[in-house]
Amino acid sequence: MSYSDRMQRNHLYSVLLSPRGAPRMVDQGKQIAQQFLSPFDLLIGLIGDSGSGKSLILQGMFPGLELTNDDEGVNVRPLPIINQDDTGFFKPHTYHLDIRFEMAFYQLHELADAIRKALDNGKRVVVEHFDLIYEQLGMNAHLLIGIGEEIIITRPSVFGPEPEDIKKVVFASINNRRMAHTAEDLVEHCLIDRRVYHFEHYDVRSGFILSFHDRPDIDLKELEFDVKKLIEADLPISYLDANHVLIGDQRHYCTGPRMHVKSTGKVKDFQLYQEFLIHPITKNSQILGLINLPSDYKLADLNSLRLMTFSEPENES
């Protein structure tokens, strides 16, 4: 066993900020695989609400893995893991299944039996919505990943954590991530109106950062005012395609089109930090946007563990 595999024995949990947008989510999945995945991990569990990015994380962790819950995967019938004896010589090493999706086709005990059989045969099984199968399965995952505003990566032991504990945390915080992403797109929309097109996106808890190599000549108070007008208008936000949403009737480019609140009015307590932040190394100018925080917040508290959300999830509808 390699040094990195031995180190995994002592891994309890890690917390990463959940990025927004498909390329960043896939890249984050690649980093998770490099840092936390052991070749000896056979059961990988993912927990998160619809649209949180579970499948994107998996694309980064396991390039080429056939996902059975995407648009093409609907036709992967029968589900490969259910018919393990019928695949001939070329049997897959890694199986994927989405429990919420497969519950429309199979009973939970059938899915649990198939997972146990694959594990007994030394196969790896990657399970989305792991919390739904955990009780029936009777075993925890080797590596358990929860995706909300943060990505929680944990290696459960006999002492936990239980999937339900991870679910409570990530489901409670996911709406903050939706609000932050929506606010980020609204700011981007207003920047485009000002003919400002070139910037990079970064993440911070309860907000976002837009970074500029050259500081744009804009008034941040006016920018905040215009975004708040869009929020007050309570415009509907809807999925258009894999790279676009509709804000009202305006088409807007977005690589995370499923990660939004249903209308702009659901963005709570939006504010822009009223000065450009300067990155100490790159010297880039940065705009900081925040949501759902008190007016007397401190910058040093934004990524504090004290702001982690452990309350019950809010009903967005």
Closest alpha carbon to 127 in 82, 103, 95, 149: 95
Cα–Cα distance between 66 and 72 in angstroms, integer?
10
On whether residue 317 sits in a domain, the answer given is: no
CA distance 41 to 35: 13
Mention every residue, 6+ apart, whose C-beta is less than 8 A from residue 57.
Answer: 25, 26, 28, 29, 32, 46, 145, 147, 151
How far apart CA 65 and CA 97 sit, in angstroms, is 11
- pLDDT > 90: what percent of the chain? 67
pLDDT at 89: 55
Query: Which residue intervals of 194-288 are DSSP H helices?
Result: 220-232
| Pairwise pLDDT comparison (34 vs 160), residue with the higher score | 34
Confidence of residue 70 (pLDDT cuts 50, 70, 90): low
Domain-ending residue, one of 161, 196, 224: 161
Per-residue pLDDT, 87: 55
Strands 277-278 and 200-204: unpaired
Claim to verify: residue 211 and residue 274 sit in the same structural domain: yes
Identify the pLDDT of residue 151: 95
Does 184 score more than 50 pLDDT?
Answer: yes
For position 86, what pLDDT does the model report? 61
Confidence of residue 270 (pLDDT cuts 50, 70, 90): very high
| pLDDT value, residue 8 | 63
Question: Could you tell me if 141 and 233 lie in one domain?
Answer: no
Lowest mean pLDDT: which of 50-64, 86-100, 184-198, 246-260? 86-100
Q: Is 269 found in the same domain as 214?
A: yes
Strand order in the sheet with 94-98: 13-17, 150-154, 143-147, 43-48, 124-128, 94-98
Within this chain, do residues 272 and 139 fall inside the same structural domain, yes or no?
A: no
Looking at per-residue confidence, does 308 or 40 come out higher? 40
Domain count for the chain:
2
- Please give the residue range of the domain that contains residue 245: 175-307
Residue that terminates a domain, selected from 127, 161, 195: 161
User: According to the model, what pLDDT value does residue 271 have?
Assistant: 94
Specify if 49 maps to a domain.
yes
Mean residue pLDDT of the chain comes to 87
User: Once rounded to an integer, what is the mean pLDDT over residues 178-201?
Assistant: 94
Give the model's pLDDT for residue 117.
94
Residue 21 lies in a domain: yes
Exposure pattern of 38-51 as b/e (b: 16+ CB <10 Å)? beebbbbbbbbbeb
Q: What is the mean pLDDT of residues 252-277?
A: 93
Predicted local distance difference test score (pLDDT) of residue 148:
92
Q: Which pLDDT score is estimated for 304?
A: 64
Report pTM.
0.84
Residue 87 lies inside a defined structural domain of this protein: yes
Task: Tell me which DSSP letter residue 263 carries.
Answer: B
CATH number at residue 198: 3.30.980.10
The residue out of 161, 185, 206 marking a domain boundary is: 161
7: confidence class by pLDDT, cuts 50, 70, 90:
low
Instruction: Please state the rounded mean pLDDT for residues 217-233.
Output: 97
